[in-house]
């Protein structure tokens, strides 16, 4: 039913791991194969291509649904529908930002300090062109094929580049003087495909699985038993997504309690629960959480 395109490159591994966690494992003959399959009746075809190309291909109807960054959607000015962000990346769940940067020792402190004829290099020439045009600045914009930060100040006066923390730019002797766009990875759809009820329903179901896998990351299920006298003390120290589930044990032997908690807190939480009177404490991994 759905023709799906996934990103190759820096997002590739994280994307494939997410799909596997969502029980949508991607199979292909080798790591360099651009064609793949997913054993799911809702997915007819899978292709793995550069994220820069994906928005246009989805907009043109070559694919029904795909994953790419908001940066490439804006750069290509592609007319696609977003089904929502997928908060993951190659390393963290933080968004990335496209910024304008100049040498750290430059007297320029904002984009308004730049004058006509400023030379700018970027992997996002169209986004950069629109940014300067909106501010009435005539910039000489050149396409950068990488190592953009190395081109200042000998080749260009400023750069527009992607950053997650700004650390690499500072290490290259640059300072940020403007933010152009904050970008998340997004699940996008072709508008015509999304208008078809059957395809729209299938897309929503896939998004549910992906969101559920992401929601489960960094969380575990904790189950325990506790006596009547210790229940309140245990509940008081037990974090939960909503409220802990409490069930009476057979023949009045106390209560069974379970809840979802952050994995990062478990090393402190389990001993504290034991001190408060909890017994038979279990920590269980989670695959998905669907609200």
Using CB atoms within 10 Å of the CB of residue 124, give its burial: 0 to 12 exposed, 13 to 18 middle, 19+ buried. buried
Task: Name residues whose C-beta falls within 8 Å of residue 243's C-beta, 6 or more positions apart in sequence.
Answer: 259
pLDDT value of residue 268: 96
Condensed to tens digits (0 to 9), the pLDDT of residues 254-267 reads 999 999 999 999 99
Condensed to tens digits (0 to 9), the pLDDT of residues 237-247 reads 998 777 899 99
Length of the chain: 291
pLDDT value of residue 177: 95
Task: Name residues whose C-beta falls within 8 Å of residue 169's C-beta, 6 or more positions apart in sequence.
Answer: 99, 101, 149, 161, 163, 175, 176
Retrieve residue 270's tokens: 């389990």
Domains and CATH numbers, the chain: 2-91+184-216 (3.40.190.10), 96-182 (3.40.190.10), 219-285 (3.30.70.120)
C-alpha–C-alpha distance, residues 284 and 232, integer Å: 23
Closest CA to 100 of 171, 145, 150, 149: 149
pTM of the full structure: 0.87
Q: Are the C-beta atoms of 180 and 120 separated by less than 8 Å? A: no
Backbone φ, ψ for residue 279 (5° rounding): -135, 170
Does residue 124 carry a pLDDT above 90? yes
Backbone φ, ψ for residue 16 (5° rounding): -65, -35
């Amino acid at each position: 039913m759905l023709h799906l395109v996934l990103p190759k490159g820096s997002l590739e591994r994280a994307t494939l791991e997410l799909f596997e966690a969502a029980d949508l494992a991607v199979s292909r003959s080798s790591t360099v194969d651009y064609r793949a399959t997913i054993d799911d009746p809702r997915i007819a075809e899978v292709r793995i291509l550069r994220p820069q190309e994906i928005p246009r291909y989805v907009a043109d109807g070559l694919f029904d649904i795909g994953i790419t960054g908001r940066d490439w959607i804006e750069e290509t000015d592609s007319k696609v529908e977003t089904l929502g962000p997928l908060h993951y990346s190659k390393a963290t769940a933080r968004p990335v930002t496209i910024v304008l940067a100049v040498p750290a020792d430059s007297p320029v402190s904002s984009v308004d300090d730049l004058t006509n004829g400023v030379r700018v290099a970027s992997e996002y020439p169209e986004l950069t062109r629109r940014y300067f045009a909106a501010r009435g600045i005539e910039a000489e914009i050149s396409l950068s094929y990488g190592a953009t930060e190395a081109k200042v100040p000998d080749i260009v006066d400023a750069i527009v580049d992607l950053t997650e923390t700004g650390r690499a730019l500072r290490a290259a002797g640059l300072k940020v003087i403007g933010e152009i766009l904050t970008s998340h990875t997004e699940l996008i759809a072709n508008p015509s495909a999304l208008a078809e009820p059957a395809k729209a329903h299938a897309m929503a179901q896939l998004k549910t699985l992906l969101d559920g896998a992401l929601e489960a990351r960094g969380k575990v299920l904790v189950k325990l038993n506790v006596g009547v006298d210790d229940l309140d003390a245990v509940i008081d120290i037990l974090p939960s997504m909503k409220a802990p589930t409490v069930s009476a044990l057979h023949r009045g032997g106390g209560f069974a309690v379970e809840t979802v908690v952050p994995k990062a807190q478990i090393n402190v939480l389990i001993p504290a629960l034991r001190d408060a009177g909890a017994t038979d404490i279990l920590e269980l991994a989670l695959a998905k959480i669907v609200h």
